[in-house]
A and B are shown apart, each in its own frame.
Chain A
């Protein structure tokens, strides 16, 4: 003969569960709305930096990022060189004029015409 299992403390609670109220008529609509909102929010909550960090975890992307940084550094150096070159040319032209025209050096530029 089988002995009866000991009474579980959850049993009265489960007995009460059978007396659940009727669900709201808008339950399905609310569930779908929550799902839709969750889907929309997910990428925003992740954030740009978090996404970028995840991408940086990939070796290929990391190598590309470092290479892009090097290329950007060279590009900026080239732009800076262009500016320096223009300033240098202007200075050299002034120096040349001072060298060939003694009056320019002393604030009395002479008009040189062909």
Chain B
């Protein structure tokens, strides 16, 4: 009875080893950088070399500005949290300062939306209709995006 047990264990060991080896070999690498993101887009949207080059240029050109805006948005959020904290603790609000803050934030939001829209449109312009449709679904509202990813 020893031999069947040995073969059973050998089978389990071979199965587990093949599973781990195959998974590690094929496991996708993580892509947190701009290049990684663009490489993913290339695969996802089946971009040609020329399309990819143009899209990379567009993204690289707008990347510093978008990062700066992102930092500004974070700053404004922190500022808003300060306002809220002051209102709760002192029960007083500097309406002039708050109005200025709201105005700045509205302006920043508009600039953010505008920059993003221009980047999306510039990228979409390079794509064919099928790629464009898929791309716009990806960058549309979160609900639409989730729907698109589920399909």
The answer to the question of A96 belonging to the interface, with a C-beta cut-off of 8 Å to chain B, is yes
Interface residues contributed by chain A, number (CB under 8 Å): 45
* Known pairs A57-B3, A65-B7, A105-B73; A73 contacts B66 (CB<8 A): no
The answer to the question of A52 belonging to the interface, with a C-beta cut-off of 8 Å to chain B, is yes
The answer to the question of A33 belonging to the interface, with a C-beta cut-off of 8 Å to chain B, is no
The 8 closest A-B pairs by CB, nearest first: A73-B19, A69-B15, A56-B4, A69-B11, A73-B18, A102-B70, A73-B15, A53-B4
Q: Are B73 and A103 interface neighbours, CB within 8 A?
A: yes
Question: Given contacts A54-B4, A111-B141, A113-B136, could you give 7 more A-B pairs where the C-beta distance is less than 8 Å?
Answer: A65-B7, A77-B18, A81-B23, A96-B37, A97-B139, A106-B73, A108-B73
Max chain A Cβ within 10 angstroms of own Cβ: one of B15, B66, B138:
B15
Q: Are A112 and B22 interface neighbours, CB within 8 A?
A: no
Contact surface of B with A, Cβ cutoff 8 Å: 1, 3-5, 7-8, 10-12, 14-20, 22-23, 26-28, 31-32, 34, 37, 40-41, 44, 59, 62-63, 66, 69-70, 72-74, 77, 109, 112-113, 115-117, 119-121, 124, 132, 136, 138-142, 145, 149
User: For residue B19, which residues in chain A have a CB less than 8 angstroms away from its CB?
Assistant: 73-74, 76-77
The answer to the question of A30 belonging to the interface, with a C-beta cut-off of 8 Å to chain B, is no
